[in-house]
Amino acid sequence: MSTVSGVNQNVFEQINQTNQTSSTSTSQTEEDSDMFMRLMIAQLQNQDPSSPADTTDFMQQIATMSQVESINQLNTSINAMSQSMLSSQAALQASAMVGQSVYIPGDTSEVGTQANPYAHGSFNLDTSASDVRIKVYNSSGSLVDTMQLGAVEQGEHEFAWQMAFDEEGNPEHPAGDYTFTVERLDDGEYSAIDTNLAYQVNSVTLGENGIGMKVNTNAGSFDVSDVKQIGV
């Protein structure tokens, strides 16, 4: 199981940073060019008529301005190329997510269908707990099952739940949405903790220039920044 970090997450951060840098760079380039022209015009307007600017010096100033413009144009081209490459890389990585399961913060999942025969989830403990239990509720809010995990160490933990079957092989509960509440025991009382559930990615939506990528699941669309893990 891989986390959405490192290269994967950095791609989208780099795209945002590139766009911000590109916008700032373009604005700065225009300001520098305008300032250079203003200085040259001011120099010509305020020169001593009896001792005009030396032609050689004036041509060197023009040549310098031309070099600055060329460098700025080169920087703009490189920034555009870099942004294009980042967008393409994001698109390739997005396509690889289709069909994968992703863990996203939430507590409700469809269970009992052919596509989702059982539920996968995870939770994180910042400290060890003497007892952890997971309560399962149906769409009507009725408690249908309780999983007692006992003492659980600090860290990330996973769980899976499949509804029970009767002697004839029929599920005891109908397929539908089920809610999972993970609780830890502290000082004699249970308190709920955050839960992540696994959903299969049906498609991926990319925003302009690869920004604002969303993963689309049966449970809805989620920002890629919400994805905690990929794979079950």
Residues 97-134: pLDDT tens digits?
788 888 999 999 989 877 778 899 999 999 999 999 99
* pLDDT score of 81: 66
Q: What integer best gives the mean pLDDT of the chain? A: 77
Q: Is the pLDDT of residue 159 over 70?
A: yes
Residue 224 in any domain: the answer is no
Closest residue by Cα to residue 94 from 82, 102, 104: 102
Q: Domain boundary residue among 70, 97, 124? A: 97
Q: Is the pLDDT of residue 5 over 60?
A: no
Q: How does pLDDT run across 206-232, given as a tens digit for each residue?
A: 776 556 778 888 888 888 888 888 876
> Per the structure, how many domains does the chain have?
2
Query: Span 129-140, mean pLDDT?
Result: 95
Tell me the pLDDT band of 15, cut-offs 50, 70 and 90. very low
Q: Are residues 90 and 119 in the same domain?
A: no
- Contacts of residue 158, defined as CB under 8 A and 6 or more positions apart, other chains included, come to 120, 121, 122
Residue with tokens 């009507």: 140
Min mean pLDDT across 6-10, 79-83, 123-127 is at 6-10
Q: Is the pLDDT of residue 182 over 80?
A: yes
Mean pLDDT comparison of 45-49, 73-77, 131-135, 161-165, highest-scoring range: 131-135
Query: Span 37-65, mean pLDDT?
Result: 66
* pLDDT score of 125: 95
Return the SS3 of 189.
strand
Q: What is the CATH number of the domain that holds 159?
A: 2.60.40.4070
Q: Are residues 60 and 127 in the same domain?
A: no
pTM score over 0.75: no
List phi, psi (to 5°) of 167.
Answer: -65, -25
Q: Are residues 180 and 117 in the same domain?
A: yes
CA distance 187 to 91: 49
List phi, psi (to 5°) of 43.
Answer: -65, -45
* pLDDT score of 4: 43
* pLDDT score of 228: 84
Q: How does pLDDT run across 102-112, given as a tens digit for each residue?
A: 899 999 998 98
Q: Are residues 30 and 105 in the same domain?
A: no
Tell me the pLDDT band of 96, cut-offs 50, 70 and 90. confident
Q: Are residues 107 and 196 in the same domain?
A: yes
Q: Which domain holds residue 128?
A: 101-200
